[in-house]
Amino acid sequence: MATVKFQQKMKPAALRIYAKLFPGCVVQDLRENGVRVHILDKEFGIDSLIVLEDGQWLSIQEKYRNNDAIRYLDFTQEYKNAVGTPQESNGEWFKLGAQVYFYGWANKQETDFEKWVLLDIPKYKLLIEKAGGLDKIGVLRQNKVHGKASFYAIPIKKLSQAFLATYKATNSLTAKTII
């Protein structure tokens, strides 16, 4: 449950970023405190909905990483769950149906994000396809700590063509000029 607590701790920082990118938006979290998972999250990798002022919405997948992971500056794409067990199944990569992906690294105090990106998921998927697959753009790793999931570690700079916004842009740009 440490990851749920970390997620809850960092959520206000993500909400501040969304408010800056999408003024007047309302964010609807589909995870209900990280316990009861909404079908959109479970089946399509949609953690939240960003409801814009005019009522339209963007579906978003979110991943918050601890500050110690910033040294890698990689995007970790979950590939398989419970690898090597009878429960092995396809991970997020196979069901990622959100429109955008917020990916951020916390500051040391865990009060804000030191670095973050907002990815356009269709552009991201097409970038991976054009590269020849995840194994051509990232390195397959095995997580032995959290659920035995496998993931691809992809240098974040390799995904820059799919960026909608980054931490570098929020001080001077609005969502309308970023997107």
Domain with 48 in it: 2-171
For residue 133, being part of any structural domain is answered with yes
- Amino acid 176: pLDDT: 40
- Amino acid 171: pLDDT: 53
- Amino acid 94: pLDDT: 96
Query: Cβ neighbours of residue 123 under 8 Å, at least 6 residues apart?
Result: 161, 162
pLDDT value at 85 more than 70: yes
For residue 131, being part of any structural domain is answered with yes
Q: How many domains does the chain divide into?
A: 1
Q: Tens digit of pLDDT for each residue in 118-138? A: 999 999 999 999 999 999 999
Q: To the nearest whole percent, how much of the chain has pLDDT over 70? A: 89
For residue 178, being part of any structural domain is answered with no
Confidence of residue 45 (pLDDT cuts 50, 70, 90): confident
For residue 25, being part of any structural domain is answered with yes
Alpha-carbon span 68 to 74, nearest angstrom: 12
- Amino acid 35: pLDDT: 61
Burial class for 109, CB neighbours closer than 10 Å (0-12, 13-18, 19+): exposed
Alpha-carbon span 25 to 71, nearest angstrom: 32
Distance of CA 17 to the CA centre of its chain: 14
* H/E segment holding residue 147: none
pTM: 0.90
Q: Tens digit of pLDDT for each residue in 47-75? A: 999 999 999 999 999 999 999 999 999 99
Q: Tens digit of pLDDT for each residue in 145-156? A: 767 899 999 999
For residue 179, being part of any structural domain is answered with no
For residue 176, being part of any structural domain is answered with no
For residue 150, being part of any structural domain is answered with yes
Average pLDDT of 87-112?
Answer: 96
For residue 42, being part of any structural domain is answered with yes
